[in-house]
Homo-oligomer: A and B are copies of this chain.
């Protein structure tokens, strides 16, 4: 059943190509460990040299991935009829061609300049955000926009498309700006009245229980238990602590996630753990053991990755069946009297409060998407020149007022709240909402396939869900693009409807609508 590079019938050029990509990926895995260590255990004084180590490895990886030999081998394989008829090999070749073209189209001096400017811009952004000083960050944002536009030109985009397609394609191959725009518009049209109705309902679920104090050690032990219970193999991975939770699929047999604990916010740590475990289960179930380095062992897209984290965090972790199981576990593990008095319904409702928040990462399942749409629209406008950088704060604040009914008190809590633009990650934001959309669409499909799902979750049994995700999403790696995967799994192209239906069905009863 494994599609290894060593299959004897495949030509020598293919075998060599797989060996070279594995070598590059092995260096990449080492770079990823440097990155993981940087966020978890690295002593502060090592930061400066760590940047040098990471730069060295990233240029070694880039050198190998853009080597003329790869180009030759690719061309030879593409001309080979046997490979064209071998579905797994053909998919690998399609994806390697894509990676190779992207990597070789951008001139090295532009790669270098972007890395340098981004690195400095991130420092400037951090300080500017701290001092709420947009004027200092603005010229850097202008520099980055110019560079990103040059990158988009270098990548190119399909006929009838626009420069933004070239950027989006980095994170979401096969997706177009036009389709995102259409889907987001439809989602917004449905979400806006729902969010308005919630605000006008006058209902305010009890959330006081979320701030009871639970010693961090007890939370850590409980979160470890949960991660294992969800099916993450702790012999082939770890859960650690970092300031910004993340998950890194470092290597075969090595997937590491992080979370963070605050004594008075145990549900937020738990949600973070569920989110990262969603990513981690995807990484852990990619076919890395046999195909490490091949596209077949990599995630399909950033949006599909996010669909996995959102599914476990929200669709599972904020569901009533989950809390029917989890509440007694929480009570047992934490031993806090206030929690002993908590009932499932209160817990469930408290986990599903819908309330506009200035900050994206503190937002709920519904309003979060409005944050994303705002960023998607503004970054496109800045790239096209329709929106001047100097006018960004005003445009941001106006949209926050119009979409979320919030007054932005300062740019630190406004247009400077996210790191993404400072690191030149334009085209990334939409993948968050794409993740929500895919999650909802997959969730609808899997509920059909798994009629006992609620009962399973109610008993803390997540095996059926994980098995479905493995079989339908994880094992395919990049064999199918995200749009292809969506069609294969759900029989439908990407749509706003499943997410909207899911939110309506959950939110309306809670708010008596």
Contacts and interface: CB of A to CB of B under 8 A. Distances in A.
Interface in A276-308: 292
A50 interface: yes
A44 interface: yes
Contact of A33 (B37, B45, B60, B237): B37
Interface stretch (A7-15, A71-79, A245-253, A320-328): A245-253
A53 B34 contact: no
A46 B236 contact: yes
A240 B43 CA distance: 12
A29 B27 CA distance: 14
A43 B252 contact: no
Contacts of A37: 33, 37
Nearest to A44: B235
A254 B42 contact: yes
Identical chains in the assembly: 2
Contact of A29 (B53, B253, B254): B53
Interface in A28-86: 29-30, 33-34, 37, 41-50, 52-53, 56-57, 60
Given A43-B234, A233-B45, A251 B33 contact: no
Given A37-B37, A44-B235, A236-B46, A26 B254 contact: no
Contacts of A41: 41, 238, 240
Contacts of A26: 49, 52-53, 56
A49 B238 contact: no
A52 to B, nearest CB: 6
A425 B240 CA distance: 36
Instruction: Tell which of A46, A50, A52, A236 has the most Cβ of chain B within 10 Å.
Output: A46
A26 B60 CA distance: 12
A23 interface: yes
Contacts of A29: 49, 53
A56 B27 contact: yes
A505 to B, nearest CB: 39
Contacts of A52: 26
Contact of A237 (B30, B43, B292): B43
Nearest to A253: B45
Contacts of A33: 33-34, 37
Nearest to A42: B254
A513 to B, nearest CB: 47
Interface string A227-270: 00000011111101000000000111110100000000000000
A49 B252 CA distance: 6
Contact of A30 (B57, B233, B234, B251): B57
Instruction: Tell which of A41, A45, A236 has the most Cβ of chain B within 10 Å.
Output: A45
A60 B37 CA distance: 22
Contact of A49 (B44, B56, B251): B251
A48 B253 contact: yes
Contacts of A23: 56
A253 B43 CA distance: 8
Interface of A: 23, 26-27, 29-30, 33-34, 37, 41-50, 52-53, 56-57, 60, 233-238, 240, 250-254, 256, 292
Given A23-B56, A43-B236, A45-B254, 17 more contacts: A26-B52, A30-B53, A33-B37, A43-B234, A43-B238, A44-B236, A44-B253, A45-B236, A45-B253, A46-B253, A47-B253, A48-B252, A49-B251, A49-B254, A50-B251, A50-B254, A53-B251
21 contacts: A26-B56, A29-B49, A30-B53, A33-B33, A33-B34, A33-B37, A41-B41, A41-B238, A43-B235, A43-B253, A43-B254, A43-B256, A45-B254, A46-B250, A46-B251, A46-B254, A49-B251, A49-B252, A49-B253, A49-B292, A50-B254
Can you list the 8 inter-chain pairs with the closest CB atoms, starting with the nearest? Answer: A45-B253, A46-B254, A45-B236, A46-B253, A49-B252, A49-B251, A45-B235, A44-B235
